[in-house]
Amino acid sequence: MKPTRRSFLTAGAAAGTLGFPMIAKAQSPIIWKMTSAYPKGSPFYMDGPGSATDLARRIDAMSKGRLKIQVYGAGELIPALEGFDAVRAGTVEMNHANSYFWTGKTFAAQYFTAVPFGLNFQGINGWFYDGDGIKLWHEVYAPFGMVAFPCGNTGVQMTGWFKKEIKSVSDFKGLKMRIPGLAGKVYAALGVDVKLLPGGEIFPALERGVIDAAEFVGPFQDRRLGLHKAAKNYYTTGWHEPATVSELLINKAAWDKLPKELQAIVENAAAACNVISEGWCQKTNAEAMEDLVKNHKVMARPLPDDVIKALRTQTAKVLDEAIAKDPVTKKVHDSYMAYKAKFDAWSKYSETPYHNKIQA
Please write the tens of the pLDDT for every residue from 48-107. 999 999 999 999 999 999 999 999 999 999 999 999 999 999 999 999 999 999 999 999
- The C-alpha atoms of residue 156 and residue 239 are separated, in whole angstroms, by 9
- The C-alpha atoms of residue 242 and residue 238 are separated, in whole angstroms, by 5
Query: Distances from the Cα of 307 to the Cαs of 22, 159, 329, in angstroms?
Result: 73, 12, 27
pLDDT-derived band of residue 13, with 50, 70 and 90 as boundaries?
very low
pLDDT in the model for residue 198: 79
* 189 and 296 share one domain: yes
* 122 and 65 share one domain: yes
Q: Which helix (H) or strand (E) holds 234?
A: strand 233-236
- Cα 232 to its chain centre, rounded Å, is 27
Position 10 pLDDT exceeds 60: no
In a domain, 2, yes or no: no
Position 155 pLDDT exceeds 70: yes
* 180 and 317 share one domain: yes
Strand-by-strand arrangement of the 30-36 sheet = 67-72, 30-36, 94-97, 245-251, 146-153
In a domain, 208, yes or no: yes
pLDDT in the model for residue 237: 81
Q: Work out the burial of residue 236: count CB atoms within 10 Å of its CB; fewer than 13 is exposed, 13-18 middle, 19 or more buried.
A: middle
**Count of domains for the chain:** 2
Closest CA to 34 of 64, 57, 65: 57
Q: 296 near 228, Cβ under 8 Å?
A: yes
pLDDT digits (tens, 9 = 90+) for 276-314: 999 999 999 999 999 999 999 999 999 999 999 999 999
Q: Which domain holds residue 178?
A: 160-241+285-337
pLDDT digits (tens, 9 = 90+) for 32-41: 999 999 999 9
* 64 and 185 share one domain: no
pLDDT digits (tens, 9 = 90+) for 220-239: 999 999 999 999 999 998 89
pLDDT-derived band of residue 360, with 50, 70 and 90 as boundaries?
low
* 136 and 168 share one domain: no
Strand-by-strand arrangement of the 193-195 sheet = 193-195, 176-178, 213-214, 160-162, 233-236, 299-302
Position 187 pLDDT exceeds 90: yes
pLDDT in the model for residue 14: 44
* 43 and 78 share one domain: yes
In a domain, 274, yes or no: yes
Q: Work out the burial of residue 351: count CB atoms within 10 Å of its CB; fewer than 13 is exposed, 13-18 middle, 19 or more buried.
A: middle
Q: Which helix (H) or strand (E) holds 255?
A: helix 252-257
pTM for the complete prediction?
0.87
pLDDT-derived band of residue 26, with 50, 70 and 90 as boundaries?
low
* 114 and 190 share one domain: no
* 186 and 301 share one domain: yes
pLDDT-derived band of residue 359, with 50, 70 and 90 as boundaries?
low
Largest Cα–Cα distance in the chain?
A: 103
Main-chain dihedrals φ then ψ at residue 280, nearest 5 degrees: -60, -40
Q: 190 near 161, Cβ under 8 Å?
A: no
* 255 and 219 share one domain: no
- Among 9-13, 92-96, 148-152, 308-312, the range scoring the smallest mean pLDDT is 9-13
Q: 83 near 304, Cβ under 8 Å?
A: no
In a domain, 79, yes or no: yes
Neighbours of 296 (CB within 10 A): 12
In a domain, 352, yes or no: no
pLDDT digits (tens, 9 = 90+) for 333-351: 999 999 999 999 999 999 8
What phi-psi label fits residue 39: left (phi over 0), alpha (psi between -120 and 50 degrees) or beta? Answer: beta
| CATH number of the domain residue 333 falls in | 3.40.190.10
| CATH number of the domain residue 149 falls in | 3.40.190.170
Q: Which helix (H) or strand (E) holds 201?
A: helix 199-208
* 98 and 176 share one domain: no
Look at 199 and 254; give whichever has higher pLDDT: 254
* 121 and 39 share one domain: yes
pLDDT-derived band of residue 18, with 50, 70 and 90 as boundaries?
very low
Q: What is the mean pLDDT of the chain?
A: 92
Closest CA to 125 of 310, 10, 27, 270: 270
